Amino acid sequence: VTSRQRICDVKGVPLISSMHEIFGRVEKFQAKADDILIATYPKAGTTWMIEIMDSIRQGGITKEITTIPSHERTPFLELSSMGTLPAGVDLLKDMPSPRLVKTHLPFQLVPQSFWDKGCKVIYVARNAKDILVSYFFFHKITPILPHAGTWDDFFESFLSGNGECVHSDLSSLSVLDDQHHRQDPWSHSALLLLLLLHIDGSFPHPRAPRLKVLISVLLMEIVKHTSFNMMKDNPMTNFSRMPTCIVDVRISPFMRKGQVGDWKNHFTVAQNQRFEEEYRRRMAKTSLRFRTEL
Ligand code: A3P
* The pLDDT of residue 158: 87
- pTM equals 0.88
Q: Let me know if residue 204 belongs to a domain.
A: no
* The pLDDT of residue 90: 98
7 in Cβ contact with 19 (< 8 Å):
no
Find the 255 Cα to ligand 1 centroid distance in Å: 6
Q: Let me know if residue 171 belongs to a domain.
A: yes
Find the 4 Cα to ligand 1 centroid distance in Å: 23
Distance CA 4, CA 188 (A): 37
In this structure, the residue with its CA closest to atom 24 of ligand 1 is: 228
Q: Let me know if residue 71 belongs to a domain.
A: yes
Q: Let me know if residue 134 belongs to a domain.
A: yes
Q: Let me know if residue 35 belongs to a domain.
A: yes
- Atom from ligand 1 closest to the CA of residue 44: 7
Number of domains in the chain: 1
For residue range 125-173, list pLDDT tens digits in order: 888 899 999 999 999 999 999 998 999 999 998 888 665 677 655 544 4
- Catalytic (active site) residue 139: no
**Does the pLDDT value for residue 237 go beyond 90?**
yes
Q: Is the CB of 49 inside a 6 Å radius of any atom of ligand 1?
A: no
For residue range 33-82, list pLDDT tens digits in order: 999 999 888 998 999 999 999 999 898 999 999 999 999 999 999 999 99
**Does the pLDDT value for residue 182 go beyond 80?**
no
* Percentage of residues in the chain having pLDDT higher than 70: 81
CATH assignment of the domain containing 160: 3.40.50.300
CA quadruple 150, 155, 160, 166: dihedral, nearest 10: 80
* The pLDDT of residue 14: 87
For residue range 248-287, list pLDDT tens digits in order: 999 999 999 999 999 999 999 999 999 999 888 877 777 7
Domain that residue 274 falls in: 13-195+226-283
Long-range contacts of 227-231 (CB under 8 A, 24+ apart): 228/255, 228/258, 231/47, 231/48, 231/51, 231/255
